[in-house]
A = this chain, B = another copy of it.
Amino acid sequence: MRDFSSDHRWLSLNTATVRKQGDLIHIIEACARHGIRAIDPWRDQVAAVGLERAVRAVRHAGLELSGYCRGGMFTSDAARRGEVRDDNRRAVDEAAALGASCIVLVVGGLPQYSRPGSVTSKDIAAARAQVDDAIAEMLDYARAAKLPLAIEPLHPAYAADRACVNTTKQALDICDRLDPGHTGALGVALDVYHIWWDPELMAQIARAGRDRLLAFHVCDWLVPTKDILNDRGMMGDGVIDIRSVRAAVEAQGFAGYSEIEIFSNDWWARPIDEVLRTCIERHRTVV
């Protein structure tokens, strides 16, 4: 297991962590001030400053991209599927332009939440089947662009509205069906927030192996969690034994960035330099 205590070379910042404090250019400048070498930007943040300007800023800062957030939201009415497919192809093109190492897939829940305006459904099994088909289709396009797709299992609390892939096992089952050769084109993005509770977690990380482990995200689970979407904790402030999960992914050969992604009304209200200083300190002491 890598020693993170003496520097933060393996820290990546998911830019949603400070999305209320400024635009992507502002965030990239802050990363430079704090010696952060990698980011994972969100599509809306890129769109807000323009793709070309984002690409220039990333290159000028010498940043790596530990991922690009996000593709997915695959579930929809039949009438919207072409639109969903094209939207995800644009995500691939943007990620390629930015030089991202993978695209994180948040697959969507029931269609009325994934793609508003779709007919209301309670059929989560149908949603899951649709996700399988849509990832298969996107995979062809992403392979051609040499962009790996990282399926992110989301906490079961988001099954209805954000992602109907809710366990590491379920994500790996999709990988096995669509990429039986373990080509590296399809894998998982594991965020401790979503998976820490899973009694099968350690076994599934071992099953994933190096080829499928495309991204590793950290934050913490607070007790109480006051808002199921936007009350995620800074590492060390909650109940997750983060280090044991990192040890498990690294035991499989994962050697990439430890990406900090915190959706938090609390941390969004603080100055960006305070947030980044705290991220770095916690990366060194509790991740």
A→B interface (CB under 8 Å): 110, 113, 122-124, 128, 155-157, 159-161, 164, 166-167, 170, 196-199, 221, 223-225, 228, 238-241
Copies of this chain per assembly = 2
B113:A225 contact, CB within 8 angstroms: no
A/B interface sample: 24 pairs, CB < 8 A: A122-B239, A122-B241, A124-B196, A124-B241, A128-B199, A155-B156, A155-B157, A156-B156, A156-B157, A156-B198, A157-B157, A157-B225, A157-B228, A159-B196, A159-B197, A160-B221, A160-B223, A160-B238, A160-B239, A161-B224, A164-B197, A167-B199, A224-B228, A225-B228
Residues of B within 8 A of A198 (CB): 156, 166
Shortest Cβ distance from residue A131 to the other chain B in the assembled complex, whole angstroms: 11
A239:B110 contact, CB within 8 angstroms: yes
Q: A124-B196, A157-B228 are in contact. List 9 more A-B contacts (CB 8 A).
A: A122-B240, A128-B199, A155-B156, A157-B157, A160-B239, A161-B223, A166-B197, A170-B199, A224-B228
**CB nearest to A240 among chain B residues:** B122
- Which residue of A124, A164, A170, A238 has the most chain B CB atoms within 10 A of its CB atom? A124
Shortest Cβ distance from residue A113 to the other chain B in the assembled complex, whole angstroms: 6
- Which residue of A122, A166, A198 has the most chain B CB atoms within 10 A of its CB atom? A122
Shortest Cβ distance from residue A162 to the other chain B in the assembled complex, whole angstroms: 10
Please report the C-alpha to C-alpha distance between residue A30 and residue B128 in the assembled complex, in whole angstroms: 42
Please report the C-alpha to C-alpha distance between residue A19 and residue B122 in the assembled complex, in whole angstroms: 29
B156:A123 contact, CB within 8 angstroms: no
Shortest Cβ distance from residue A192 to the other chain B in the assembled complex, whole angstroms: 11
Please report the C-alpha to C-alpha distance between residue A156 and residue B167 in the assembled complex, in whole angstroms: 11
Given A161-B224, A198-B156, A225-B228, are A241 and B128 neighbors across the interface (CB < 8 Å)? no
Given A155-B157, A224-B161, A225-B157, are A197 and B240 neighbors across the interface (CB < 8 Å)? no
